[in-house]
Amino acid sequence: MDYKIGIVGLGVMGRSLALNLERNGFPVGGYDLEATQAKAFLTGYTRGRKMAAFDSPAALMSALERPRRVLLMVPAGAPVDNAIASLKPHLLPGDILMDGGNSFFMDTERRNKDLETEGFHFLGIGFSGGEQGALRGPSIMPGGQRQAWEAVAPLLRAIAAKAEGGEPCVDYMGPRGAGHYVKMVHNGIEYADMQLIAEVYDLLGRGLGLSANKLHSIFKEWNTGELKSYLIEIAADIFAKTDAETGTPLVDLILDEAQQKGTGKWASQNALDVGAPIPTLNAAVESRILSSMKSQRVSAGKVIHGPQMEFRGDRSQLITAARDALYAAKVVSYAQGFSLLQLASQEYNYNLNPGTIAKIWRAGCIIRADLLNGILDAYRHDPALVNLLMDESFRAAVGSRQASWRLVVQTAVGLGVPVPALGASLAYFDSFRSERLPANLTQAQRDYFGAHTYRRIDREGTFHTEWK
């Protein structure tokens, strides 16, 4: 049998994608450097299916139909380069290697260029949706040579999540590292979305003293309206889960230290490189770092005291305001992410299509939400839209919620509940809508101490002043 595709790396994600591919009619050959993984794949998954495990790269490559299509599902960094090196002696011109991990997009740029000079194709593919997404239908973001995309498109369309109307959540993102760049920004928005939800949970939980059961009811209701999304849905489920041993809500027993794998941090770092303001995404990354400083926070909490955490206002009003604030801040976080994509597209000549990206994020991925239908409509109406806040519909939706948004941030500040992402979103909103910002004083100071010059509002040219 000629296998349609090979998968190198038979861990959870590799196995899940293999099962998805086989279920959709594409026989799969697998290989893993770890003999135990290959054996587990062979004995636990291949029986009765058109799948096989091979004991060497050479054996795998000889079993694949041409042009060979090989998907690498190994950890980012050196393991990807090592996997490529093990396969390269067996490649023929026109063969296609694909990296399906969370690789840094600049590494994908390098690998794409290096392999192209030797006559091979290389796709960097972002997969989102976790294990269940890989098994049942992920959102897929491929980038690389267009002819390579066209050669693997039937497979990826078959296994992708399907949005309303059955449209597959996969499309060609652009050349070289474009696919992994889009996945990086997806993860940055994911960080922001999760942090915004966590801050609202903290305000309602600590600030109002609401129980996990009450929070479950609130989030379940929110998931029937404009906040309907995967992350709101699973938050509601989490609040309902009770620890079997103690009878305590499980969320209350989980250590408050959030981990990260680097993609959100990469988005923040790259945004500085391309000059894109993404304060909500940055706040989310910084909040995870702050959460990791547990011992310092415990010590500080004993000697540094804030206000008394006692809410005296209308509780129902604040809960409603929190829903509105969360929606407004989520729109702003998406606006920042899509603006970053547009600036990066110019910087790296990716020719990214924001509407296409919104389209493939509507199902399968972690940030899937009803909100993306509105984003898709906004870019369909104006493909050159520079910021989502300039879309008439979103401008009205956010504007009508800003009083609630300000109430939530003000209340949190008064209670001493940290809301770095909600606050950063509001500051971005106020900065973006301000015709005049205080940068004139910043420029005057730069000229004062460094003769960096400045421009004037009443005449053309650059100027320097002897300030003393």
- Among this protein's residues, is 183 annotated catalytic? yes
What's the CA angle centered on 72, arms 71 and 74, to 5 degrees? 155
Q: How far apart are CA 84 and CA 253, in angstroms?
A: 43
- Among this protein's residues, is 302 annotated catalytic? no
List, in order, residues 6 or more apart from 125 with CB less than 8 Å away. Answer: 71, 98, 99, 100, 140, 141, 142, 143, 156, 179, 180
Point out the catalytic residue in the list 183, 265, 330, 359: 183
Q: How far apart are CA 260 and CA 191, in angstroms?
A: 9
Point out the catalytic residue in the list 4, 22, 109, 190: 190
For 274-300, letters b (16+ CB in 10 Å) and e give eebbbbbbbbbbbbbebbeeeeeeeee
Residue positions counted in the chain? 468
3-state SS, residue 123: strand
Q: How far apart are CA 226 and CA 159, in angstroms?
A: 28
Contact yes or no for 6/83 (Cβ under 8 A): no
CB-neighbour burial class of residue 38 (10 A; exposed 0-12, middle 13-18, buried 19+) = middle
State the residue for tokens 């206002």.
Answer: 313
- The two beta strands, 96-99 and 121-128, are parallel
Which residues are paired to 64 by β-bridges?
3
CA atoms within 13 A on the CB side of 201: 20
Which amino acid is residue 288, in one-letter code?
Answer: R
Q: How far apart are CA 292 and CA 18, in angstroms?
A: 35
Tokens of 67: 């042009």
- C-alpha closest to that of 234 among 247, 248, 251: 251
| Local structure of residue 460 (DSSP, 8 states) | S
- C-alpha closest to that of 331 among 369, 301, 276: 369
3-state SS, residue 2: coil
**Residues labelled as active-site residues:** 183, 190
